[in-house]
């Protein structure tokens, strides 16, 4: 069993611990591990490691706190000291309840965990089931999306550190909200990554989009994988989060017989049995491969859920008309209909963006639709646009209401991006705060060059290093109280309440079918005794239904049963309870 201050440094010839200002020699403990050769200080202490006679101490790869930033000394943290008050909390698991994705730095003016905790009552009243936090592990600088993290065990100090994180989860559970933490295991940030000084954490020459890949299958990878698995368990054990969102798992380069994802799923299941809590993993993947969420006993990876970007793309194209890049294949109502019934659009279908066939069909007999997490906006789909513009920049209230209906009545697990529920007008842009001038300059120039290649006007691309890019991305909390912002918030609350009182909207079964008309641009989704009727056209439509329309349970504007169908105004939607009678 590892002791405090043990460290894995298999390539080092000599390692010392600098703790409380005093050097303490470490001795080899086998397997590349080093352990203190003399008594180490107890209690809260600042410490670092000196490798092979180096004069500058390095932070602990498993550091829980970095009070002076990622280049400074680590500080011990006793996770067991927190007195939890969430004894009555029971997670619903990934059962179709809505997820609210938020970035701590821009969710509130203060940008801290404690400030976010003060708005948990608002989220509980909204009607979501889970709060999903973008990455909070330690990065260099004061603000960042979170995907430049370099110390995976430490909570970013500008957010409040690990104690504030425990307070946030505790408060969320007392409000009846679960917590999902976004974690990044496929790459590390560009500043403060000292892991290669300790051991073979990375595989040089085997890069992904963000740099050298994490060493998952080469020499020394057993300990690297343990480093990742133990980190995942830390969030669920010490901080009591209910689930993890695994970033970009398609970038994990792993050729071992048991994939890292399968290993993570098995460890999560074991911890769930040990604690009696419902714990789960959700993968972000662009592979369109349901093996990720197939059970392990049929050679799947055993994850509980995965993102489906195809849903986002189909909704986005049908509402905005944008067809550039990866949107090109989704230019039809039929594409949306296929996603609603099959989960993926690219299911071994031609992908013009990739220039090849892509994906595989979902096994609808083994996979439940709730296992697909979908959205109409998220941090990537907004922030990776040149100007970081939300749908509110190009769509009016009626189209935004259609997006809400499609997201919250589909058979999948819906996710809402912070501010979406009140049609936030603020952008959410790509921002960084690299203290190193050369890194900041390279980041800004690279961002600009990327969008110039795509034909964007450079004038609309904000400099990620400008403080205003970050401050402009903060939510304006004066908006939800007035005008169409308040109207949209009421609509989201009504739809989320409808999900709670209509079992058909969260039933773990695939839809009873979809009817649509490409020319007239309407679509009907059948969910048990309910029909979700959507008019995407700029004209009023009377849409025929398979059964006689009864009570209108929800509508974005006027909706009237009419003969054998339902009359809808232009660009509007309704949820209708169907009678038992089939139409003539």
**Residues with catalytic function:** 247, 284
What's phi and psi for 46, nearest 5 deg? -90, 140
CB atoms within 10 A of CB 394: 12
DSSP 204: E
Return d(Cα 433, Cα 507) in angstroms, integer: 44
Return d(Cα 138, Cα 281) in angstroms, integer: 21
CB 148 within 8 A of CB 140: yes
Q: How far apart are the first and last CA of the chain?
A: 73
Biggest CA-to-CA distance, the chain? 87
Return d(Cα 302, Cα 298) in angstroms, integer: 9
Strand order in the sheet with 541-544: 541-544, 565-568, 559-562
φ/ψ region of 220 (left if φ > 0, alpha if ψ in -120 to 50, else beta) reads left
| Locus of tokens 């608002």 | 122
Strands 130-133 and 178-183: parallel
What's phi and psi for 516, nearest 5 deg? -155, 160
CB atoms within 10 A of CB 397: 18
CB atoms within 10 A of CB 191: 19
DSSP 53: T
Return d(Cα 379, Cα 430) in angstroms, integer: 9
DSSP, collapsed to helix, strand or coil, labels residue 105 as: helix
Strands 305-307 and 280-283: parallel
The burial class, CB within 10 Å (0-12 / 13-18 / 19+), for 538 is exposed
Report helix, strand and coil shares of the chain as percent, to nearest 5. Answer: 30, 25, 45
């Amino acid at each position: 069993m590892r002791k405090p201050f043990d460290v894995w440094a298999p390539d080092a010839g000599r390692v010392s611990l600098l703790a409380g200002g005093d050097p303490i020699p470490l001795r080899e403990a086998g397997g590349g591990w080093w352990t203190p050769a003399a008594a180490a200080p107890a209690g809260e202490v600042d410490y670092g490691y000196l490798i092979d006679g180096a004069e500058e101490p390095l932070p602990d790869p498993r550091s829980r706190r970095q009070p002076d930033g990622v280049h400074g000394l680590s500080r011990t943290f006793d996770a067991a000291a927190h007195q939890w008050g969430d004894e009555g909390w029971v997670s619903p698991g990934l059962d179709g309840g809505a997820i609210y994705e938020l970035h701590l730095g821009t969710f509130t003016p203060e940008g801290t965990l404690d400030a976010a905790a003060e708005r948990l009552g608002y989220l509980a009243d909204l009607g979501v089931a889970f709060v999903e936090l973008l990455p909070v592990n330690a990065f260099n600088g004061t603000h960042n999306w979170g995907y430049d993290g370099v110390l995976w065990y430490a909570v970013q100090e500008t957010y409040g550190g690990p104690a504030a994180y425990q307070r946030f989860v505790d408060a969320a559970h007392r409000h009846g909200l679960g917590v999902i933490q976004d974690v990044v295991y496929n790459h590390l940030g560009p500043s403060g990554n000292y892991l290669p000084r300790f051991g073979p954490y990375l595989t040089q020459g085997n890069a992904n989009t963000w740099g050298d890949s994490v060493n998952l299958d080469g020499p020394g990878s057993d300990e690297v994988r343990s480093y990742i698995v133990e980190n995942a368990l830390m969030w669920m054990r010490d901080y009591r989060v209910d689930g993890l969102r695994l970033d970009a798992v398609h970038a994990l380069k792993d050729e071992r017989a048991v994939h890292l994802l399968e290993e993570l799923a098995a460890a999560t299941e074991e911890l769930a049995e040990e604690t009696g809590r419902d714990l789960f993993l959700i993968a972000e993947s662009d592979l369109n491969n349901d093996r990720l969420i197939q059970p392990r006993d049929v050679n799947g990876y055993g994850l509980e859920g995965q993102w489906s970007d195809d849903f986002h793309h189909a909704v986005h194209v049908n509402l905005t008309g944008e067809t550039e890049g990866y949107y090109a294949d989704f230019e039809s109502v039929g594409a949306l209909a296929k996603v609603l019934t099959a989960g993926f659009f690219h299911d071994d279908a031609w992908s013009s963006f990739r220039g090849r066939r892509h994906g595989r069909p979902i096994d609808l007999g083994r996979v439940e639709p709730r296992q697909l997490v979908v959205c109409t906006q998220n941090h990537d789909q907004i922030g990776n646009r040149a100007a970081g513009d939300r749908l509110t920049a190009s769509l009016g209230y009626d189209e935004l209401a259609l997006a809400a209906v499609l997201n919250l009545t589909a058979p999948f697990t819906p996710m809402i991006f912070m501010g979406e529920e009140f049609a936030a007008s603020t952008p959410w842009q790509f921002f960084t705060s690299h203290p190193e001038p050369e890194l900041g300059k390279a980041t800004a120039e690279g961002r600009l060059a990327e969008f110039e290649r795509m034909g964007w006007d450079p004038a609309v691309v904000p400099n990620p290093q400008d403080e205003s890019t970050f401050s402009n991305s903060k939510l304006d909390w004066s908006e939800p109280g007035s005008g169409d912002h308040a109207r949209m918030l009421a609509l989201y609350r009504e739809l989320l309440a409808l999900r709670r009182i209509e079992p058909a909207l969260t039933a773990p079964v695939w839809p009873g079918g979809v009817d649509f008309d490409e020319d007239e641009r309407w679509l009907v989704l059948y969910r048990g005794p309910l029909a979700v009727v959507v008019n995407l056209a700029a004209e009023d439509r009377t849409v025929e239904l398979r059964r006689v329309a009864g009570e209108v349970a929800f509508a974005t504007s006027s909706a009237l049963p009419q003969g054998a169908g339902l009359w809808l105004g232009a660009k509007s939607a309704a949820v209708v309870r169907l009678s038992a009678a089939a139409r003539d």
